[in-house]
Copies of this chain bind each other. A is one copy, B any other.
Amino acid sequence: MSEVRSRVIPEATVARLAVYLRVLTALAESGRRSVSSGELASAAGVNPAGLRKDLSYLGPCGVRGVGYAVGSLRERLARALGVEQARSCVLVGMGNLGSALAGYAGFGTRGFTFVGLLDADPARVGDVVGGTEVRPVDELEQVVAAHGVTIAVVTTPAGVAQSVCDRLVAAGVRSIVNFAPVTLVVPAGVDVRQVDLSVELQVLAFLDQQKGVDVVPHQASRPMTEQVALP
């Protein structure tokens, strides 16, 4: 076996690398040439030591006593994440949410291009969103194959998300972001990332509730009994 240490990057770290990349891009645009772990960490909302540890999985990235070079670190992160060159994605479900995502110009600058926007509703087919024409969902397999797409975004109604997912996987997609409020079942080797606003809100509701119960934090916030409609 080779002496080269196989650096397995923890998934939690990968998610933060994406955040660092975003911050670095903003810094680069504002003309910054170098940055310290403290600055970068504070802009990313993490602990500086943790940031250094995250970056250390890529091997030495900075200069001791100085900091990190914005440009080269950015390139390195993009390469590590696999977004150095733009990747093709498809998006299925051009309702309000799908249209919102497809119309968001920010993805292009972050390494993603929607090569297919698909919808089952004939009334939506032919619309142009973010410069791409909406096509009938029947063409899913064709679009995926034609562009060698491996990443898909699902924004369909919950009821059809699983069947759309099955078709995507059968067509060759291996990575899916799912916005439909259902748990997708996929074969081993396919990754799903679930985004569910209701879950986010419910987690906040729980934390919120705890704050009320939790006695004596810093600020003496008197136990207000959850009042609604106060004039």
Is A35 engaged at the interface, CB distance under 8 Å to the other chain?
Answer: no
Closest 4 CB pairs of A and B: A96-B100, A82-B209, A6-B223, A175-B204
Partner of A106, one of B147, B151, B198, B224: B198
Q: Does A123 contact B (CB under 8 A)?
A: no
Q: What does the 1/0 interface line of A117-137 toward B look like (CB < 8 Å)?
A: 000000000000000000000
A218-B188 in contact given A2-B225, A11-B203, A197-B101 (Cβ < 8 Å) = yes
- Which residues in A have some Cβ–Cβ distance to B below 8 Å? 1-2, 4, 6-7, 9, 11, 14-15, 17-19, 21-23, 43-45, 58-59, 76, 79-83, 87-89, 95-97, 99-101, 103-104, 106-107, 110-112, 145-148, 150-151, 153, 174-177, 181, 183-185, 188-189, 191, 193, 195-209, 211, 217-219, 223-231
Contact B100 A229 (CB under 8 A): no
**13 pairs of residues in contact across A and B, judged by CB atoms under 8 Å:** A22-B181, A45-B184, A81-B202, A81-B205, A82-B206, A83-B202, A97-B97, A107-B198, A111-B201, A146-B229, A151-B205, A175-B208, A177-B204
